Structure 1
Amino acid sequence: MSRTHIQIDVKWCPPKENWICINTDGAVQQDVAGCGGVIRDQIGKWIAGFVKNMRFSKDYISELWGAYEVLKFARSKGFTMVELRMDSSVVVGSIKGEKVVL
């Protein structure tokens, strides 16, 4: 079986004016799980960040937990105009209320 490599250039793009941007991710490796995220304003200025260690989790749960933690934090700070960015299509679908098949 041959593999094809595709290069994808990724860059951060600012959110709309008066919005904040949240980037979050989660991962599991050798039964160690964690998640983290960063909050930035419309010009890319760092507002806050977090990391969380979890004893054990599945990839989906660590991704979902990261989104939950950072959205909870943003809400506690009074942010209402929030753009959440993450790389888990399963979690994004789940947040949108779509049926999740794991």
Structure 2
Amino acid sequence: MVNPGDTWVFLFTDGAVARDSGYAAIGGVARDRVGDWIMGFNRFLGMCSPFEAEVWAILDGILILLNKGYKRITIMTDNLEVAQ
């Protein structure tokens, strides 16, 4: 069995905010170095900005992976502002 702490994982995240209501939701998936699925997650946030939704998606994904024993995480996001 592979020790999760020694394995690199890729965390793909996204956040979305409805223009009419301002309600936001987030989600993401984690994949190993060959692209095999490890886990997925999603969460309703309520009202927040697109920036906040993107940050929450990354934070939730990192916390879930750390809880599962993964310590080497590459974050993949489509939001340049958050990445900087």
> What's the TM-score, normalizing by structure 1?
0.71
Aligned alpha-carbon RMSD (Å)? 0.9
**Corresponding position of 1:96:** none
User: Is residue 62 of structure 1 aligned with residue 53 of structure 2?
Assistant: yes
- The structure whose residues are more often helix, as a share, is 2
Q: Deviation digits for residues 31-79 of structure 1, max 9, x if unmatched?
A: 1201100001111111110011111010000000000000001111111
Question: Aligned match of 2:70 in 66, 75, 79?
Answer: 79
Which whole-Å CA distance do the structure 1 matches of 2:45 and 2:8 have between them? 30
Question: Counterpart of 2:43?
Answer: 52
Structure having the larger proportion of residues in strand: 2
Stretches of structure 2 lacking an aligned partner (at least 5 in a row): 1-6
Deviation at 1:85, TM superposition (A): 0.2
* Larger RCO: 1 or 2 (CA < 8 Å, sep 6+): 2
Is it true that 1:26 corresponds to 2:15 in the alignment? Answer: yes
Counterpart CA distance in 2 for 1:44 and 1:60 is 27
**Aligned positions, number:** 76
Which secondary structure state, in structure 2, belongs to the residue aligned with residue 37 of structure 1?
Answer: strand
Q: CA deviation at 1:27?
A: 1.0
Q: Which runs of 5+ in 1 are unaligned?
A: 1-17, 94-102
Match of 1:37 among 5, 28, 37: 28
Larger radius of gyration: 1
